[in-house]
């Protein structure tokens, strides 16, 4: 299961441009991978990985268009 995030928006693109960096995109909240990633802990390529039980719960209650905020 996964939930797509509408990123980047106009503000995200402008911020990335001002920093001279690519904005990226195609970001999802998703469950765990079945592979063991001991040596490659950042296997998500920018996505946000959750425990499978947590993504199932979120998926069951979040409606399309629900705003989310990701904090560093």
User: pLDDT for 9-31, tens place per residue?
Assistant: 899 999 999 999 999 888 899 98
Phi and psi at 44, nearest 5°, equal -85, -10
Mean pLDDT for all residues in the chain: 85
- What's the confidence (pLDDT) of residue 17? 96
pTM: 0.66
Cα dihedral value 10, 15, 19, 20, nearest 10? 0
What is the Cα 21 distance to its own chain's centre? 18
Q: How far apart are the two ends of the chain, measured CA to CA in Å? A: 23
């Amino acid at each position: 299961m996964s939930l797509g995030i509408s990123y980047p928006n106009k503000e995200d693109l402008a911020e990335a441009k001002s920093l001279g960096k690519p904005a990226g995109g195609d970001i999802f909240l998703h469950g765990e991978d079945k592979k063991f990633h001991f040596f490659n802990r950042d296997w998500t390529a920018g996505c946000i990985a959750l425990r499978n039980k947590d993504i199932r719960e979120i998926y069951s209650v979040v409606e399309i268009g629900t705003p989310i905020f990701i904090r560093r």
